[in-house]
Structure 1
Amino acid sequence: MKTKKHRGSFMLRAMVFGFSIAVGLLAFWLLGYIIQDIDRVKGPDYSQMLEVGLPQSLQNERRSLAAELVDRKQQIESTEQRRRLTAQTTSDSQQTINQLLELKRNADQNETSLSEGQQQALTDSLQLFLSNQNQTQTLNAELSNLNDDLNDVKEKQRQNAAAITLASQPINDEYKKLHEQHQWKLAAYKLGMLIPMLLVCGLLFLRQAGGTYAMLVYAISGAVALRVLLVMHDHFPAIYFKYILIGLSLSIATGVLVRLLRLVAKPSRDWLLRQYREAYANFFCPICDFPIQRGPLKYAAWTRRSLKKHTPVPINGSTAAPDQPYTCPCCETPLFQTCEKCGGVRHSLLPACEKCGDVRGNSVQASASE
């Protein structure tokens, strides 16, 4: 007799499902940290390759031009600040001169003259204004020269950058080659760790499918498989990855289809028992899906869509007809037959008699073969 598999309560099944998801996420998280540690393996250093491979004269020129550019910008900023201060002083002097000239016009109109102090202030303001004007012109000329020098430095920088780009082209090619080799090396390290785990998970998946620890195996296998796909996506070129992904998906789909075709051609006992149980419960023939018209449903008609709309037929125990064996009139399959032990009518395609509990171990397979 086959050992019965207990499903457990709804709460227990929900907890199993929840903790299975938690195990899968934690496994995926743990594998991610391991892969991050593998990524810490040092690859080629581009800056060091440039430092070694570029001519020293170009490097010295680049540093010298960078320092000279900073110096020219600082000088321009300082000169701009001096010019702003000079312009402010010139503006103040001009306001003073305008006020003194207004006083002088008023004095001329009144036929008087400015005081000696006012005359001296006007003279000093005029001299300061002219001096500031000269200084402003000098600062403008200095700014013009500094901007010309800045443009010269930038032009030299462009020429130096072009020379460095030309000289660094072989270094760039070598770096790309070394970087690609390093990426393949990292992929080999990661897949070298993940592929054996995936093979073990695949073996456990085949052995534990439907077993006690199936959910645990499914959770860990899913985490490992997803990490393998992510590693291939990160390190494999897109032209290769798409073929690998399509090939893997095709293999999985083909395997599932083959398994389903085998179930159709030679179904397992559990699969047949589930099919027969659901058919009997819905009053349909498990073989051809014809309605089981017996007892109070002898003259009724229904389909799977209209079954739920039927009102249950009340049964009067005193007038009810005795239960009789029943054969499907469509496919000729015996659906109800006399029990050999108690003489009552039992389900032909189910293993146990509902009246005496007599069990026929191979009834499901025998009925399928017929």
Structure 2
Amino acid sequence: MKTKKHRGSFMLRFMVFGFSVAVGLLAFWLLGYIVRDIDRVQGPNYSQMLDEGLPQELQDERQLLAAQLADLKQQIASAERRRQLTGQTTRDSQQTINQLLELKRNADENATSLSDGQQTALTDSLQLFLANQSQTQTLNAELSGLNDQLDDVERLRRENEQVITRESRPIADEYETLAEQHQWKLAAYKLALLIPMLLLCSWLFVRQAGGTYAMLVYALSGAVAARVLLVMHDHFPTIYFKYILILLSLAIATGVLVRLLRLIARPSRDWLLRQYREAYAHFFCPICDHPIQRGPLKFAVWTRRSLKKRTPVTVDGDAATFDQPYTCPSCETTLFHACQKCGGVRHSLLPACEKCGAGAEVEQEVGA
């Protein structure tokens, strides 16, 4: 006797689905942490390779020029601040001189003279103005010299950078080669961990398909497969990943198609029972899809689309008179026949009699 498979209540099935999704997400999360830990494996260090590969005199010259540039820029900034301060002092002195000259002109017009204090202030302001003018010229000359030095150092730095760039090109090529090898090594480490897990999940997927722990296997398989795809996307070149993804999708689609074709050619018992059950429920022949016109539906006509809109037929009289054996007139398949145990009419293609519960095994024993 075949063990019956219970579907469970809606809440139980909903909880199974929810926890299956949670298991898949947690497994995907855990694998992500493991993959990131593998990424911590040290690869080639470009700065260290430059320090070891470049001539020491070029590196010393670059550091010296950089120090000189920083020092010259600091000197130029300091001289610029002093020039601005001197310029402000010169403008203040000029304003004072203009005011004193205005007072002297008024005094000359009035036939008077400036006081001793005003005359001394005018003399001091003129001396300060001339001194500031001289200092401004000195600062301008200093800034001009510093800028010339800065231009020379910048030129030397550019020449040094050109030489360093030319000398570091082989080092950069070597670094790219080592970095690519390191990426392939990381991919190998990750796939060495994930591929056996994927193979195990694939084996469980085939063995447990439709079984008790199918949802658990589906969740874990989905998490591992998604992480494998992400690892290949991160480490494989785009052209390789494109072909791998297409081939993998083609293999999956081909496998599903082959399974569906086998299911059509040699359907399983559960698949046939589901097909027969749905066909009987919609009053269509499970074999050829012809309408089952028996009982109250003897002279009715319907399709799958119009069946949902049809008003239920009222049965007048004894319903047992309508419950008679029936054979499909299209494919000659017996759809209803008399039960050999209770004598009532039962579905021929379903496993049990709806009146007495006798199964196909009981009918075979009675028939024998």
- TM-score, normalisation: structure 1: 0.95
Quick check: 2:28–2:224 contact (8 Å CA) kept in 1? Answer: yes
Alpha-carbon displacement from aligned partner over 1:317-340 (angstroms, at most 9, x marks no partner): 447734111111111111111111
Equivalent in the alignment of 1:257: 257
**Percentage identity across aligned positions?**
78
Other structure's SS at 1:113 match: coil
Equivalent in the alignment of 1:86: 86
Other structure's SS at 1:349 match: coil
Q: Distance in 2 between matches of 1:229 and 1:361?
A: 49
CA 1:313–1:162 in structure 2 vs 1: closer, same or farther (change >3 Å)? same
Q: Distance in 2 between matches of 1:322 and 1:274?
A: 26
* Greater alpha carbon shift after TM alignment, 163-172 vs 255-264: 163-172
What letter matches 1:121 in structure 2? A
Q: Distance in 2 between matches of 1:198 and 1:315?
A: 59
Quick check: 1:103–1:114 contact (8 Å CA) kept in 2? Answer: yes
2:134 aligned with 1:134, yes or no?
A: yes
Equivalent in the alignment of 2:166: 166
Other structure's SS at 2:358 match: coil
Equivalent in the alignment of 1:230: 230
What letter matches 1:328 in structure 2? C
What letter matches 1:288 in structure 2? C
2:244 aligned with 1:247, yes or no?
A: no
Quick check: 2:296–2:322 contact (8 Å CA) kept in 1? Answer: no
Alpha-carbon displacement from aligned partner over 1:292-339 (angstroms, at most 9, x marks no partner): 111111111111111111011122344773411111111111111111
**1:154: Cα distance to partner?**
1.3
Q: Distance in 2 between matches of 1:319 and 1:260?
A: 41
Equivalent in the alignment of 1:287: 287
**1:361: Cα distance to partner?**
4.9
Q: Distance in 2 between matches of 1:223 and 1:135?
A: 78
Structure 1 stretches of 5 or more lacking a match? 364-370
Equivalent in the alignment of 1:107: 107
Structure 2 stretches of 5 or more lacking a match? 364-368
The Cα RMSD (Å) is: 1.4
**1:109: Cα distance to partner?**
2.3
Quick check: 2:294–2:322 contact (8 Å CA) kept in 1? Answer: no
Q: Distance in 2 between matches of 1:232 and 1:123?
A: 86
Quick check: 2:187–2:232 contact (8 Å CA) kept in 1? Answer: yes
What letter matches 1:29 in structure 2? W
CA 1:287–1:298 in structure 2 vs 1: closer, same or farther (change >3 Å)? same
What letter matches 1:115 in structure 2? S
Q: Distance in 2 between matches of 1:362 and 1:192?
A: 55
Q: Distance in 1 between matches of 2:168 and 2:238?
A: 28
**1:108: Cα distance to partner?**
2.0
Q: Distance in 2 between matches of 1:13 and 1:154?
A: 75
2:40 aligned with 1:40, yes or no?
A: yes
Q: Distance in 2 between matches of 1:294 and 1:89?
A: 118
Q: Distance in 1 between matches of 2:317 and 2:162?
A: 104
- TM-score, normalisation: structure 2: 0.96
* Greater alpha carbon shift after TM alignment, 84-93 vs 354-363: 354-363
Equivalent in the alignment of 1:215: 215
Q: Distance in 2 between matches of 1:206 and 1:333?
A: 34
Q: Distance in 2 between matches of 1:207 and 1:220?
A: 14
Q: Distance in 2 between matches of 1:362 and 1:108?
A: 145
**1:134: Cα distance to partner?**
1.4
1:1-370 equivalences under 5 Å are 1-318=1-318, 321-361=321-361
Q: Distance in 2 between matches of 1:49 and 1:282?
A: 77
What letter matches 2:112 in structure 1? T
Aligned length: 363
Q: Distance in 1 between matches of 2:37 and 2:361?
A: 56
Q: Distance in 2 between matches of 1:136 and 1:321?
A: 126
